[in-house]
Chain A
Amino acid sequence: MTLKTLPPISRSTEKFSLKNFFHSIWRQRWLYFLMMPTLIYFAIFKYGPLWNAQIAFKDFKPLLGVMGSPWVGFQHFETFVNSFYFTDLLTNTVFFSLAKLILGMPLAIVCAIALHETWFLRYRTFVQTVIYLPHFLSWVIMFGVLLVILSPGNGLLNAIIEQFGGDPIPFLTSPNHFRWVVIFSDIWKETGWSTILYLAALLAISPDLYEAAAVDGATPLQRIWHISIPGIIPVIVLVTLLRMGNILDAGFNQIFVLYSVPVYSVGDIIDTWVYRQGVLQFQFSLATAVGFFKGVIGLVLILISNQIAKRVAQQSLF
């Protein structure tokens, strides 16, 4: 929200009164009337789930309903924290988020700089069009593409491995390789699209700086190091902070499509576990408690990230 010239509001001079408040609502009755469907929608579909979330602290029985089920306090949270899968789930989730960020971000930055530096503008547009494409495809399509590349029978990668005399690897079902499949397929799908913010920041750098560097006889690499990189540091900081705030969102759709029983131990993240435990095993309260736990940590992390962003980059994340 940018600061614009606000109309002089009499709020400071007038004392707040209920009558005035209702009067002002009445003046805006059309606007409220207009928003009514959305407000009702919010009450049901956004706050309804929050109401249901109380079963995290109850022993939910479908027959008794959300209200009728007995309270059990933090029992489900204790069960989760003390369970053997707690560390695995948390490690997998954080591992995937961090690996995607640490390996994906430098590549995106290098791509953005390459696109920015190239003289062949037509070719640049073409490359951009192609590398943005995977972002718009669903993970189901990506799964199909990955099967064609990775299947042990005649996948492209395994064909190459066999050419060099190696044994085919069942990438999608092998616990030793599944993590890399998750990380690299995400990088393959999203790196192109994530160049867009860096590229925008690069294009916003004043051309005067580059001209001055040319006059001073800077080499291309010096130019990138001393002008381009400093120019996109704010974006890098913001993207990193935002990703840190969402570190527990490791990509549910992706893992849900790609994983299978043999790789649960290395692929299971909080979200996929919640789905299986809740929807498939009917452990509604335990699954809700875990989802709630994730939600609270997520909220705290994003608020912290936002504070840092405000202080460091003078920008708000939301």
Chain B
Amino acid sequence: MLRSKTRDAILFQIGLAVFLTIILLLILLPFWRVIVTAFIPLDIYTREGIPFFLSPTEWTFEAFNQLLGHSMFPRAALNSIIITLLGTAISLVLTVPLAYGLSTRNLPGRKLLMTLVLFVYLFSPGLIPIYLLITGMNLTNNYLAIILPPAVSVYNTLVMMSFFEGLPEDLKDAARIDGANELQVLWHVILPLSKPILLTIGLFYAVYFWNEFFTPLLYLNDNDLMPLPVLLRNILISASFNEYVEYNAFSSSSIESLKAAGVLITMIPMLLVYPWIQRYFTKGTLVGGVKG
């Protein structure tokens, strides 16, 4: 009786491991294909297409050299970094005071503020009104057009607010009795205690800005301002390919390789910080519960 039970349990565990491995492979296989496509030399590609497995000894960096050899990619990467850093900084500077204010229980007008903030969270009139606002302010070809509209996310504000609410009220009161004003309380008491939430929300914003491609496409028409995802999209849909790569008749990589290499180049910065991002996102998402 007992033996059959443990045998059942072991079989069950094997089944689970097989299932998880299948899921794992389903996620990894497409990436593997991208890698092979990016590194395949042209002669193998023309001879036999893209094989399933390509030994790393045969890999060529030709596609990467061609993409990075053109000024477009480094510039787009720099643009992405500028948008991400500036966007995250502005977002935090605007989000923290609102979250702190809303977490202050005896703030007069708190209920009204909360209602006003929640309303824009729940009702959105769509793309065109904001598009008219931005173009009306002459923000086209300006990074502020990408950064400002999403700069304060109501969801992030609420998550941060609930963190502030959880901080002991006594700490603030002690500082207030010592004669500190709210500005000083926030700066000297609250913020030093809030590093985890600042990092979490900062990462939420940073990942958003790094991945954003629609608003840059909408508001920037100067190619020199283009961030990485927009450049990648242009390469993928092969719109005027020659503008973006040193591509010539003697090229030793195929267009497919160039596209795949573009995907990898755009992915790599995210992969480098991913372990870190994953940890904070997991925490932050669980704090926020199902909202999101």
On A, residues with C-beta under 8 Å from B are: 1-2, 4, 6-7, 9, 21, 24-25, 28, 30-35, 37-39, 41-42, 44-53, 55-56, 66, 110-111, 114-115, 117-120, 123-124, 126-127, 129-134, 136-141, 143-145, 147-149, 151, 153-154, 156, 159, 188, 192, 196-197, 200, 217, 219-220, 235, 238-239, 242, 252-253, 256-257, 271, 274-275, 278-279, 284, 287-288, 290-292, 294-296, 298-299, 302-303, 315, 317-318
Contacts and interface: CB of A to CB of B under 8 A. Distances in A.
Contacts of B148: 41, 45
Given A127-B23, A130-B27, A156-B33, A48 B133 contact: yes
A141 B266 CA distance: 7
Contact of A25 (B23, B109, B183): B109
B290 A66 contact: no
Interface in B203-237: 207, 210-214, 218, 229-230, 232-233, 236
Given A33-B183, A148-B33, A138 B125 contact: no
22 contacts: A37-B94, A42-B98, A45-B133, A53-B125, A110-B19, A138-B210, A138-B213, A140-B213, A140-B230, A144-B236, A144-B262, A145-B30, A151-B256, A217-B5, A235-B290, A239-B290, A278-B131, A288-B129, A291-B126, A298-B122, A299-B122, A315-B289
A127 B16 CA distance: 12
Interface of A is mostly: helix
A137 B30 CA distance: 14
A219 B266 contact: no
A2 to B, nearest CB: 7
A196 B126 contact: no
A2 B282 contact: no
A131 B214 contact: no
A21 B207 contact: no
A116 to B, nearest CB: 10
Interface in B91-123: 93-95, 97-98, 100-101, 104-109, 116-118, 120-123
B20 A291 contact: no
Contacts of A132: 278, 281-282
B28 interface: yes
B291 interface: yes
B182 A30 contact: yes
Contact of B256 (A35, A138, A154): A154
B72 interface: no
Given A140-B229, A143-B233, A144-B262, A42 B126 contact: no
A52 B129 contact: yes
B158 A130 contact: no
B126 A145 contact: no
Interface string B225-268: 00001101100100000000000000000001001101100110
A48 B133 CA distance: 7
Nearest to A124: B20
Contacts of B108: 21, 24-25, 28
Interface of B: 5, 8-9, 12-13, 16-17, 19-20, 23-24, 26-31, 33-34, 37, 49-50, 52, 93-95, 97-98, 100-101, 104-109, 116-118, 120-133, 148-149, 151-152, 158, 162, 165, 169, 181-183, 186, 207, 210-214, 218, 229-230, 232-233, 236, 256, 259-260, 262-263, 266-267, 270-271, 274-275, 277-278, 281-282, 285-286, 289-291
Contacts of B262: 144
A88 to B, nearest CB: 18
Given A44-B133, A318-B122, 11 more contacts: A42-B152, A45-B152, A49-B129, A130-B28, A139-B213, A140-B236, A149-B30, A196-B286, A220-B12, A287-B126, A287-B128
B144 to A, nearest CB: 10
Nearest to B2: A217
A298 B124 contact: yes
A18 B289 CA distance: 39
Given A24-B108, A52-B133, A136-B207, A118 B94 contact: no
B260 A144 contact: yes
Given A238-B290, A295-B126, A299-B122, A154 B97 contact: no
Given A138-B213, A140-B229, A271 B126 contact: yes
A30 B179 CA distance: 13
B252 to A, nearest CB: 18
A119 B13 contact: yes
Contacts of A296: 123
A278 B129 CA distance: 10
B24 A38 contact: no
Contacts of A131: 23-24, 27
Contacts of B26: 188
A126 B27 CA distance: 12
A6 B105 contact: yes
Contacts of B17: 118, 120, 123
